[in-house]
Structure 1
Amino acid sequence: MTIVNTLQGEYQITHGYGPDRAPQVMQDHWNSYITEQDFNFMSSNGLDAVRVPVGWWIAQDPIPPRPFVGGSSRALDNAFTWAEKYGMKVIIDLHAVKDSQNGNDHSGTRDGFQEWGDSNIGETVAVIEYLAARYGGRLGLAAIELINEPLAPGATFDALTKYYRAGYDAVRKHTDAYVILSARLGPTDPQEFFSLASSMNRVVIDMHNYNLF
């Protein structure tokens, strides 16, 4: 199969292969792309943590909405098992939220549009609640990142502030692991969430500065 244009995310892969072939394609990927041997190698070479990106559909595993396929929770379970075996920690990163926070293929977008906003906060918090409940008791959990690279101005400061407060509260029901807030991409004040973070405990702000692009 040849994927055209620039979108090559999980939505395009699973939609392109369809319900008959996509489950096996994704399972083969999960079984081979990162394995226990990789965790052994990383640990042996001084790395002590991994950041694992997940999509919003993980909360509906093993029967996520089409075109996504089941199996992502098992893949994350494996990451925790291997990390704990080799003395490493896991940062769970909600990399893709429903309706997309930035329009990029790695956000799970269908068509490149960025539509995440106030109306999505409740269901996105529910995904965080699922992750915190499932993994909050694991020794390998270091942190949960509430969202990855929300893009301004589409992802507004007000909507993210509401979401970050609710997401933080959801995590704290289950664990005192670090909570990571992602700074917005685009022409924004890089310190805009400092005040919010200072009102919380064990919070980190994740900033991605793409100086070469």
Structure 2
Amino acid sequence: MKFSLLSLLALGTAVQAWLPHERNLFGEQPSSRFSSSYNKIRGVNLGSLFIIEPWMASQEFASMGCGGQKSEFDCMLSLGQEAGNAAFQKHWDTYITEQDLNTMQQYGLNTIRVPVGYWMVEDTVYQDSEHFPKGGLKYLDRLAGWAADRNLYVVLDLHGAPGAQEPNQPFTGQYAPSAGFFHSWQYERAYKFLQVMTQRIHSNAAYRTTGMIEVLNEPERNHPDLITEFYATAYAKIRETEAQVNCPAESQLTIQFMDQGWGAGNPADVVGGKPNVAYDNHRYLKWDTSIEHSKSSYLATSCSDSFGYGGNTPLIVGEWSLAIKDELESTPEFDPNVESNKAFYTQWWAAQVQAYEKQLGWVYWSWKTQLGNDWRWSYKQAVEAGVIPKDPNQAAGIARCYG
């Protein structure tokens, strides 16, 4: 279906220009000594809303009848379509509420990143062999509207790709033994998802603050045609859809790609210089094998971190946390339940903020988890524990990054 320019204009603010600073979307944020810029993205991921990851939401998964299952695909196969649809729709209806978004605002956040699977567009799914819940779009529409009502910027992220872009990773929606995404026929299904969602964003007023679409989360490395074929064509398909709905150039979505630092190639090789492009870096020091895993090393590394190499700017650090190396998580030096450790985590949060705001900003992983008293993956819980301050502007005075 095509929409005329007049019909788009009738939606009022349904279509906007798409990096927040271009419209002063958040209002001017106080400058700090680590950045003189305004309108930094300060956000959280809504992990396990539309793609449940059992490691971080085990109680929720069990309550849905999915206990012991490795992924949404496995749970749906076990429950059957009808019962599975009912279980997931109840989850979508209750896991993130309007009160959550109110609390995000109270904590100084202005952005949500929403991970979704390709099966959100249901006719991309092979009904005879793929098992995913149905009915998610109306809940995504509702969430986008809630965000827009609060002037929260929305990044829509294709987190689960057809065939899975990483093996054995429930964040893809399935626990696939190998990455089956990297074929032209799978790319076609992802293009369809991206085009349908692009059209929806431009034609539905609920998405009036949804300004960025990420074409693929965390792809497996060593697939050269990811850049030359998928990234290049995904960009072209989104722009083609925008042309079909008569979207003016100044109102185009920002199209986001994992940056060169992810290790799966440099998207700038095919989209560098094109308008309205952004990059995504995921910075988890817990898995960095090049550093010493100590408090002083974590602080020094974050204080000196920089991004945007290979022409990959503007850049958002779209995932990060306060999690540390697995083997050290419960040691006395890092145990989150040891009161004296909280000062380190507060300073490390601030050091990461100052690093990531050298670029366009950051989106923490994640808003909420079900990991008991371990708040290192949950922004909400870390604030409640007094580890993260309610005002992100305090980071400048807490980081103490010198030199």
Q: Does TM-score exceed 0.5, indicating one fold?
A: yes
Question: Which entry has the higher C-alpha Rg, 1 or 2?
Answer: 2
Partners of 1:96 and 1:148 within 8 A in 2? yes
Partner residue, 1:134: 200
Name the counterpart of 2:229: 162
Taking structure 1 as reference, are residues 2 and 74 closer, same or farther at Cα in structure 2, changes over 3 Å only?
closer
Q: Secondary structure at the match of 2:166?
A: coil
1:79-116 deviation per Cα after TM superposition (whole angstroms, max 9, x unaligned): 11100111111111011111111121111235332111
Matched, 1:148 2:217: yes
What residue in structure 2 maps to residue 39 of structure 1?
A: 101
Aligned to 1:98: 162
Q: C-alpha separation between the residues in 2 aligned to 1:185 and 1:192?
A: 8
Deviations 1:153-192 (A, max 9, x none): 2xx1223331112111222232612100124787x37x72
Contact kept, 8 Å, 1:57 with 1:64, in 2: the verdict is no
The 8 Å contact of residues 116 and 159 in structure 2, kept in 1 or not, is answered as: yes
Q: Is the 8 A contact 1:48 1:89 kept in 2?
A: yes
Equivalents in 1 of 2:139, 2:211: separation in Å? 17
Unaligned runs of 5+ in 2: 1-64, 243-250, 288-403
Name the structure 2 match of 1:111.
176
RMSD of aligned alpha carbons: 2.5
1:49: which partner in 2?
111
| Counterpart-to-counterpart distance in 1, 2:77 and 2:260 | 29
Q: 1:146 to 1:93 in 2, by over 3 A?
A: same
| Contact kept in structure 2, 1:132 and 1:170, CA below 8 Å | no
2:125 corresponds to 1:60: no
SS in 2 for 1:207: strand
Q: Residue type of the partner of 1:73?
A: L
1:9-88 superposed matches below 5 A: 9-60=71-122, 65=127, 66-88=130-152
Distance in 1, Cα, partners of 2:120 & 2:149: 24
Per-residue deviation, 1:2: 6.0
Cα distance, 1:208 vs. partner?
1.6
Uncovered stretches (5+) of structure 1, i.e. residues with no partner: none
SS of aligned partner of 1:208: strand
Q: Determine whether 1:200 maps to 2:274.
A: yes
What SS does the corresponding residue of 1:135 show, helix, strand or coil? helix
Q: Contact 2:235 / 2:255 at 8 angstroms: preserved in 1?
A: yes
1:151/1:184 contact within 8 Å kept: no
- Name 2:187's counterpart in structure 1: 121
In 2: Cα distance, 1:194 partner to 1:160 partner: 9
Structure 1 consecutive aligned stretches of length 4 or more whose deviation exceeds 3 Å: 1-4, 63-66, 183-186
Q: CA deviation at 1:144?
A: 0.2
- Going from structure 1 to structure 2, the CA distance change for 1:198 and 1:160 (only over 3 Å counts) comes to closer
Q: Which amino acid aligns with 2:234?
A: G
- Distance in 2 (CA, whole Å) between partners of 1:157 and 1:211 is 26
Match of 2:153 among 74, 85, 89: 89
Equivalences, count: 207
Using the aligned pairs only, state the percent identity. 24
- TM-score of the two chains, using structure 2 as the length reference: 0.47
User: Which residue identity does 2:111 align to in structure 1?
Assistant: A
The structure with higher relative contact order (CA 8 Å, sep 6+) is 2
Q: Displacement, 1:76? A: 0.8
Partner residue, 1:176 = 252
The one-letter code matched in structure 1 to 2:225 is D
Q: Does the 8 Å contact 2:70/2:174 carry over to 1?
A: no
